[in-house]
Amino acid sequence: IQADIPSLKDVPSFDVGAAIARAQTLGEHGKLLTKHFDSVTPGNALKWDATEPREGEFTFAESDHLVDYATEHGLKFRGHTLAWHSQTPDWVFKDGDRSLTATPEDKALLLRRLESHVRAVVGRYKGRIQTWDVVNEVVDENQPDGMRRSPWFEVTGYDFIRTAFRVAHEVDPAAKLVLNDYNTELPRKRQAFFELVRKLKAEGVPVDAVGHQLHVNIEQPPASEIEKTIELFAGLGVDQQVTELDVSVYTDFVSSYTTVPAEVLAQQGYRYKEIFDVFRRQASHLSSVTVWGLADDGTWLSSFPITRLNPPLLFDDELQAKPAYWGVADPA
């Protein structure tokens, strides 16, 4: 790795984090991680399918490794995620072969499963995971009530959100609890998300922060819309975090390069700078900014939404600083 470039830890006012798996703790990747980052989020290791693949059977090998590594190296840890519609095993939403429905019995069963999952996972890492993405991606701005029709919502209504936050808070009262979502910088989604957070806060649900995933591309959405979102939520008095930032080099879901032109990587650098200029201006409302991967060799966008070359992060496949890195590190 490059020893002579400034650490991203010196970006003031908020923590800078990276999503990681075990591979990012080894060898040169580990050196890059500890040189530049204040915090980590496991990309997959704490999702339900990883931690409780069968009811009551918990598997913590990967997450234990990551939490131990972070503790040893002084990295803060963001837990991700306790209740989500994706990467959740089928058994969670079933009774034998039958899908759970909105009856009181099924609802009670699903909430019991959620409660025991949250108790086990949050309890295991109490005091070592400082922040939890408790609930992920529940907003659907195209529904009249703004709520995604996931099995969670179809069976329990809003109660899975209330239960997940209540139990997480009970198990680790010191942990910062986050409601996380994507596209929160788009006006209609922003508004639906805002209404939900306002409702939960008014009920006394212990939501400490909102998470903006911020999977964006080199052109869209405008930085001014990102700033509007941060300003809107600042009015609710909740902390905010950017939880999954990356900047796709594509503006649509079908293009693909065989090599990404240097001018596109330069454009990506200016785009990172423009976005971090917003973060710097809004730093009093933001406690952390996490990029969704340490380097381009570990990005999820090489297989989502299609398989293609897509380097969206700050360091390249050889762990060298890209223009994107300089857009973040050099505020001038």
Q: Active-site residue numbers?
A: 137, 244
Q: Does an H or E element contain 129, and which?
A: none
Q: Tell me the three state secondary structure of residue 15.
A: strand
| Least distance to ligand XIL, CB of residue 244, Å | 6
Burial 240-253 (b: 16+ CB within 10 A, else e): bbbbbbbbbbbeee
| Least distance to ligand XIL, CB of residue 97, Å | 27
Q: Three-class SS string for 160-197?
A: HHHHHHHHHHHHCCCCEEEEEECCCCCHHHHHHHHHHH
Question: Which residues, numbered 201-240, are part of the site for ligand XIL (CB under 6 A)?
Answer: 213
Q: Are 87 and 44 in contact (CB under 8 A)?
A: yes
The dihedral over CA atoms of 300, 303, 309, 314, expressed in degrees to the nearest 10, equals 0
Nearest residue (CB) to ligand XIL, 85 versus 124: 85
269 belongs to the binding site for ligand XIL (CB under 6 A): no
Q: Which one of 244, 246, 271, 324 is in contact with ligand XIL (CB under 6 A)?
A: 244
Nearest residue (CB) to ligand XIL, 44 versus 71: 44
302 belongs to the binding site for ligand XIL (CB under 6 A): no
Q: Which one of 44, 71, 267, 320 is in contact with ligand XIL (CB under 6 A)?
A: 44
Site size toward ligand XIL (CB under 6 A) is: 6
136 belongs to the binding site for ligand XIL (CB under 6 A): yes
Could you count the other beta carbons within 10 Å of the beta carbon of residue 258? 6
Q: Are 302 and 309 in contact (CB under 8 A)?
A: yes
Q: Are 160 and 93 in contact (CB under 8 A)?
A: no
Cis peptide before 221 (omega within 30 of 0): yes
Nearest residue (CB) to ligand XIL, 48 versus 326: 48
Residue window 54-93: x/- pattern of binding to ligand XIL, with contact defined by CB under 6 A = ----------------------------------------
Nearest residue (CB) to ligand XIL, 82 versus 100: 82
Nearest residue (CB) to ligand XIL, 7 versus 220: 220
Name, in order, each residue with C-beta under 8 angstroms of 147's C-beta and a sequence gap of 6 or more: 138, 139, 140, 153, 158, 196
| Least distance to ligand XIL, CB of residue 178, Å | 11
- Binding positions for ligand XIL, rule: CB under 6 A: 43-44, 136, 213, 244, 300
